[in-house]
Amino acid sequence: MGGCPPGPVTVWHEQRLRVRYEETDTMGVVYYGKYLTWFEVGRVGLLRDHGLGYKEWVRRGMEFPVVQAHVDYKAPARFDDEILVKTKVASIGNSSIRFENEVYKIPEGLLLATGHTVQVLTDREGVKIPFPPELKERLTST
């Protein structure tokens, strides 16, 4: 799966974090896989802000597995840096959704990484299902 068809783009959700020591590697920089964790933090916050926390998806009998993840690294982050994780819905297809992410070091505004994830909406058995129209509307409204 290469992504979702174009669709309305919502505004950026912003989440501030501070780099924890356990997120760094032996070189003293953030381990590359932690950026995907930060993408998840941003995604969960964005969904929660739209009244669609993961508990709501589960209550409706839906799962939301990641089927694609990509990160482009621009600059390193280090222990105790303050970072800003920006997340937005880039597009929603029939049963998939693509989230775009940008990670910045603040207060400098230095771009650390960009990337995206794609999730597919499934039922509890893992069968792909279409996005309910009301959920699609909530995710594409600003």
How far apart are the C-alpha atoms of 5 and 91, rounded to whole Å?
Answer: 6
How far apart are the C-alpha atoms of 107 and 100, rounded to whole Å?
Answer: 21
How far apart are the C-alpha atoms of 118 and 124, rounded to whole Å?
Answer: 18
62-75 pLDDT, tens digit each: 999 999 999 999 99
Q: Determine the residue type at 46.
A: L
**Sign of torsion, CA 108 15 88 98?**
positive
77-119 pLDDT, tens digit each: 999 999 999 999 999 999 999 999 999 999 999 999 999 999 9
DSSP 110-138: EEEEEEEEEEE-EETTS-B-PPPHHHHHH
Superfamily of domain 13-140: Hotdog Thioesterase (3.10.129.10)
Q: Where do the structural domains in the chain lie, given as residue ranges?
A: 13-140
33-52 pLDDT, tens digit each: 999 999 999 999 999 998 88
Find where tokens 């409204």 sit: 141
pLDDT at 10: 60
